[in-house]
């Protein structure tokens, strides 16, 4: 492919957009500029390839395709069938799964599909059998009443939010916390690690229908073999949400007991984050749940997004290339080097380090809340997100932590040699920031004080660090 093909493609697209709404074209260009100049350390973000991005902007966006491959509710879906089949094939081969469902629009959608598939498989009732046999629109109010009675109040056991779990694992404001009678397992209050004996004890006491593993802010591996044994001991379906670390599974960095696919009954994921694809979700399962999973549309999902499924096929094909394993290994090496650099400078890290792609800094050691630290870092050209730590005294809004991750910087080509400099920039900002005072003269959890000269200096140093690792080097818009 000619080196200027990517520039031509994106420049032409922006010219077309500019002819209709120039402000949108300007915002797209500004976003690329911002991402090029910022030290992106949000653990859930990455940079998709130009091929993946371009695969989303095409005529597939114009097509409705409810149903599944070969069984659509709309005519003329043969090309959608092709890209969905390709995406599913790449997912199966990449993860070693017998079945893949690539329609979910997001990780939350993927989890909803999994929850309903488990409920439909495990809860037996005449009303449920009728629902499975008929189209959802044919169900009577009596059928729905019976379904709600039979499916409601089933039990789920998942990792607590402050221990690093995700809001879709039973957090009360989320639909998962309303669908299920939920209980959480935490981490050891001293080490911050999952205590499998305590998880097993909680499972014996609670007797969940679903045991969920997976995390969004837990910086260590999980032993999925042990978790499956716990699930089996109480007759629970074992579900793993690997949205954050799917790239590490795809790259075989997480293998054996730490690869969820051979151990879980059902696995969900996003396709962005460490997998470096488009924003979307997928579900992997064995044949026993495949039929229920494939009912995701219309039971849970609206119409599939064929243009995003096309992009998933491209990204999953990229992840099957040999160099992706090296990329996944480098993500972890970079995260560990970043953690070591922070520890040398006196930072307090949850669990004392990392085994995966993320590091969780307890910023109370700097006298700050997570919200203060997040904004001070952003002012200095470092993009992170605040995050709760175990037993967080500041709650889920202000928090006491900052979550950082290395997938995006690794995509840009930064290695372990650059992680120490990154740690220095983070430490400089946090150590030079102090808590501000509210209007009433009391300490504020949101306001902070940072010398603008320090923020400007760090921002320039971050730009210098990134200058040797250009983002989308073959894309020039101006």
3-state secondary structure of 274: helix
Q: Residue 437 pairs with which residues in a beta bridge? A: 443
How far CA 281 is from CA of 104, 162, 223, in Å, comes to 5, 24, 23
Q: Is 74 a catalytic residue?
A: no
Mention every residue, 6+ apart, whose C-beta is less than 8 A from residue 144: none
Catalytic residue among 168, 268, 270, 399: 270
Q: β-strands 401-405, 358-362: how paired?
A: antiparallel
Structure tokens belonging to residue 402: 């900052």
User: Is 273 marked active-site?
Assistant: yes
Catalytic, 270? Answer yes
Q: Which two tokens stand for residue 330?
A: 């480098």
Question: In the structure encoding, which two tokens stand for residue 104, read together?
Answer: 């979910």
Cα 137 to Cα 123: distance, rounded to the nearest angstrom: 21
Catalytic residue among 40, 155, 273, 276: 273
Rg for the chain, CA atoms, rounded: 23
Q: Between helices 22-37 and 5-18, what is the axis angle to 10°?
A: 140
- Does residue 279 carry a catalytic annotation? yes
User: Could you tell me whether strands 443-449 and 434-437 are parallel, antiparallel, or unpaired per DSSP bridges?
Assistant: antiparallel
- Of all residues in the chain, what percent are helix, strand and coil, respectively (each to 5)? 50, 15, 35
Active-site position among 64, 92, 195, 447:
64
Distances (CA, A) of 322 to 90, 328, 329: 14, 11, 12
Identify the active-site residue in 37, 45, 66, 229.
66
Report yes or no: 266 and 74 within 8 Å, Cβ to Cβ. Answer: no
Which listed residue (241, 355, 392, 418) is catalytic?
241
In whole angstroms, give the CA distance from residue 276 to residue 271: 7
Active site residues per annotation: 64, 66, 241, 270, 273, 279
């Amino acid at each position: 492919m000619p080196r200027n093909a990517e520039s031509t493609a994106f420049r032409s697209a922006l010219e077309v957009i500019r002819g209709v709404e120039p402000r949108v074209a300007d915002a797209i260009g500004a976003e690329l500029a911002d991402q090029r100049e910022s030290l992106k350390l949000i653990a859930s973000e990455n940079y998709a390839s130009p091929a993946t991005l371009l695969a989303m902007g095409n005529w597939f966006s114009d097509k409705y395709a409810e149903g599944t491959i070969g069984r659509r509710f709309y005519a003329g879906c043969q090309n959608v069938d092709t890209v969905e089949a390709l995406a599913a094939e790449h997912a199966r081969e990449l993860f070693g799964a017998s079945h893949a469902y690539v329609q979910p629009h997001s990780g939350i959608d993927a989890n909803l599909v999994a929850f309903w598939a488990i409920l439909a498989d495990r809860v037996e009732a005449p009303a449920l059998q009728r629902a499975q046999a008929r189209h959802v629109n044919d169900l009577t109010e009596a059928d729905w009443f019976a379904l709600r009675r039979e499916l409601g109040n089933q039990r789920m056991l998942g990792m607590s939010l402050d221990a690093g779990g995700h809001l879709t694992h039973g957090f009360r404001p989320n639909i998962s916390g309303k669908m299920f009678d939920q209980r959480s397992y935490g981490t050891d209050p001293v080490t911050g690690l999952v205590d499998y004996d305590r998880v097993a004890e909680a499972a014996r006491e609670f007797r969940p229908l679903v045991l969920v593993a997976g995390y969004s802010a837990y910086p260590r591996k999980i032993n999925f073999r042990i978790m499956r044994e716990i699930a089996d001991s109480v007759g629970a379906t074992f579900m793993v949400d690997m949205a954050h670390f799917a790239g590490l599974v795809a790259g075989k960095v997480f293998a054996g007991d730490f690869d969820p696919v051979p151990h879980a009954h059902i696995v969900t994921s996003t396709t962005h984050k460490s997998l470096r694809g488009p924003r979307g979700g997928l579900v992997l399962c064995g044949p026993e749940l495949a039929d229920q999973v494939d009912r995701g549309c219309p039971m849970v999902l609206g119409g599939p997004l064929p243009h995003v499924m096309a992009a998933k096929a491209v990204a999953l094909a990229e992840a099957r290339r040999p160099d992706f394993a090296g990329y996944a290994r480098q993500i972890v090496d970079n995260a560990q080097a970043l953690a070591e650099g922070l520890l040398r400078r006196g930072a307090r890290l949850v669990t004392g380090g990392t085994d995966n792609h993320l590091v969780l800094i307890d910023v109370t050691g700097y006298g700050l809340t997570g919200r203060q630290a997040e904004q001070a870092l952003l002012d200095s050209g470092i993009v992170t997100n605040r995050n709760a730590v175990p037993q967080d005294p500041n709650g889920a809004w202000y928090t006491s932590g900052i979550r950082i991750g290395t997938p995006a910087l690794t995509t840009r080509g930064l290695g372990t040699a650059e992680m120490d400099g990154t740690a220095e920039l983070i430490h400089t900002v946090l150590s030079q920031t102090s808590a501000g005072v509210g209007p009433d003269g009391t300490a504020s959890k949101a306001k902070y004080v940072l010398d603008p000269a320090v923020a400007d200096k760090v921002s320039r140093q971050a730009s210098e660090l990134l200058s040797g690792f250009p983002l989308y080097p073959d894309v020039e818009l101006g």
